[in-house]
Amino acid sequence: MSDLHSVLLADGDKGALIESLAKAAGIEIPAQYLAEVGTHLIIAARMAQSVFAAPVDPAAQHAAVYVPALIPTQGRVR
């Protein structure tokens, strides 16, 4: 499924694909909204292409949990 972005970014009509994705997600998208939803999904696909192109070491980055950075501060305790 990680290649979904490649499929979305390829030439051609995506209407049927988007309808299938919506069905799988359990969401009914009225026909008149499909084009605009498709536009936004293709923007997201470009973003996905960008993050999948970024070098990430799976061993070092195995956790998909964001932890706020904790570094020393110059503040004082109130």
Partner 1 sequence: MSKAVPMLSAVSIATAARRGELSVVEHTQACLERIAQSNPGLNCFTHVVSERALERAHELDARLARGEDPGTLTGVPFAVKNLFDIEGLSTLAGSFINSSHPPATRDAVLIQRLEAQGAILVGALGMGEYAYDFTGENAHYGACRNPWDRERMSGGSSSGSGTAVGAALVPLTLGSDTNGSIRVPSSLCGVFGLKPTYGRLPRTGTFPFSESLDHVGPLARSVEDLALAFDHLQGHDAGDLACVSQPWLDTSSALSQGSEGLRIARAGGFFDCSNFPEADAAVSKVCDALGVGHSLSLDGAAEGRSAAYLITNAEGAALHRERLLTRLEDFDPDTRDRFLAGSLFPATWYIRAQQVRRRWLEQMLKVFEDVDVIIAPCTPCSAPLLGSKTLVLDGVEHPLRPNLGVFTQPFSAIGLPVCSVPLFLPGAKLPIGVQIVAAPWREDLCLRVAWQLEHQGIAECRLPPDCA
Task: Provide the binding-site residues for partner 1, judged by CB under 8 A.
Answer: 1-2, 4-5, 18, 21-22, 25-27, 29-30, 33, 36-41, 43-48, 50-56, 61, 64-66, 68-71, 73-78
Q: What is the closest distance, in whole angstroms, from the C-beta atom of residue 22 to partner 1 in the complex? A: 6
- When the beta carbons of 12 and 26 are compared against partner 1, the nearer one is 26
Q: What is the closest distance, in whole angstroms, from the C-beta atom of residue 20 to partner 1 in the complex? A: 9
- Spatial neighbors of 29 by CB under 8 A, at least 6 apart, are 18, 19, 22, 37
